[in-house]
Amino acid sequence: MCIPAATGRPVTWKELKLHATAEDLWVAVNGRAYDLTEYQHLHPGSALILQHVAGTDASEAFQAFKHPTSARLTMLKYGVGFMESAREKPRTDAAQQLIQVRSKMEAAGLFRVNYWNYVVLAAGLAVAFIAVLLCVKERWVVPGALLLSLFWQQLALVGHDVGHNQILRTRSLDSMIGIGITLFLGASVQWWKYNHNTHHVTPNSSEHDPDIQHLPFFALSNQFFRNLRSTFYQATMVFDNAVTKMMISVQHYTFLPMMLVARFGFYAMSTFHLLAKGRPAIYKPFEVAAFLGFFTWYLALCFCLPTWTERILFFVISHACFGIINLQMAATNNVSCPEWMDWFHGGLQYQIEHHLYPDLPRHHLRAASAYVRPMCAKLGIKYHSPTFFQAIGEVLGALKVVASQARNLPKEHVLVK
């Protein structure tokens, strides 16, 4: 049994690094050492999150992902001792700036949730869903399908908030909201948390970030020409075969059409997650019931339309137009838009602010940009914020570059690590 870190023994940074495996997992948080070997399997974001920071100072990650009070109480019993120094190395100028900006934003109240925003959003979602039902009743197939895709898109954005515990700030209560979202969206919020939290810990890492691992359909850089092994999927991402090379060589042409069917990826990944063993299983029976409930009400709604032509049209349009959320996620950078369009992007237009401060409520992201822009300028970092269509153009341009590289590779050639 571990003892509280505050009363434990001194731990050196050298010793901490010796405990950096899944079988022997220690981390340092705010000058204290913790043995999380057993706890990793109870971690709501999956053991993989902790394995990525094993043997290191995880203070920043802890601050970004954990609710301070509940997490500290949970971790007390896993304490090993106190670190020989508050930090292994002095904070960089960038790290100091991040902390200072966070303090300023906390003082300005930007980390407090404005619940009226969610009341208005919930009312809007309710009206939209009722409108969908009325459209189906009146056989207004196209308007009903378009409204349903918008309803799903907005619900997915709320799921993003729930995944970061941004609404009620309590994991259990936000998980309950997530189950409700699963019922109406047909996507597992627990799967999304498992996937997305890993992305936040290892952003844009070819081997670790599941958000950029899309072989055989897309390769975002030539790093994927190396037959890399995904630590997330525990599988090799095979590039060296004819089908994958062919698909990557034309990916800038197939990207937009693929977004029209990306909705089915939500179904597939949710199904795999809910059936897989060893995945986070908080409230799994309820989420499975909600997932099945989604298909029950959605198919029943489709069959409220009298003809197969109308049913198929409703199904195709509602699924294809949902692809807009995938385009919003694919932009991967800030997007300039007028304030009245913030509701549509749901926080995805402030990727910089969100990735620096994942626990920042979405309705304060625009205000946060006024703090982050000067910080970037001071650090000599470009604050890039194109329009939505410019951002999609940049994505297509990047895909085209990689496609060209794939076409020019010699046959049976894989880049060496």
Q: What is the pLDDT of residues 110-169, one digit of tens each?
A: 999 999 999 999 999 999 999 999 999 999 999 999 999 999 999 999 999 998 888 988
Residue 65 sits in the same domain as residue 172? no
Residue 67 sits in the same domain as residue 133? no
Helix H or strand E encompassing 401: helix 388-407
Let me know if residue 209 belongs to a domain.
yes
For range 181-189, the mean pLDDT: 95
CA distance 216 to 225: 11
Which of 40, 56, 90 finishes a domain? Answer: 90
Let me know if residue 53 belongs to a domain.
yes
Residue 81 sits in the same domain as residue 123? no
Residue 62: which CATH number?
3.10.120.10
CA distance 135 to 8: 65
Residue 139 sits in the same domain as residue 228? yes
Let me know if residue 104 belongs to a domain.
no
Q: What is the pLDDT of residues 369-411, one digit of tens each?
A: 999 999 999 999 999 999 999 999 999 999 999 999 999 887 6
> How far are the Cα atoms of 167, 346, 396 from residue 390, in angstroms, in the given order?
31, 18, 10
Looking from the CA of 368 toward its CB, the CA atoms found within 13 Å total 30
pLDDT at 25 (0 to 100): 92
Residue 175 sits in the same domain as residue 273? yes
Let me know if residue 385 belongs to a domain.
yes
Domain that holds residue 121: 115-407
Residue 163 sits in the same domain as residue 286? yes
Q: How many domains is the chain built from? A: 2
Residue 267 sits in the same domain as residue 367? yes
DSSP 90: P
User: What burial class does residue 122 get, using C-beta atoms within 10 Å of its C-beta: 0-12 exposed, 13-18 middle, 19+ buried?
Assistant: exposed
Residue 80 sits in the same domain as residue 123? no
For range 300-305, the mean pLDDT: 98
pLDDT at 281 (0 to 100): 59
Let me know if residue 59 belongs to a domain.
yes
Let me know if residue 110 belongs to a domain.
no
Residue 48 sits in the same domain as residue 132? no
Encoding tokens for residue 34? 């913790």
Residue 130 sits in the same domain as residue 167? yes
Residue 14 sits in the same domain as residue 51? yes
Other CB atoms within 10 A of residue 173 CB: 13
Let me know if residue 98 belongs to a domain.
no
Residue 261 sits in the same domain as residue 351? yes
pLDDT exceeds 80 at position 190:
yes
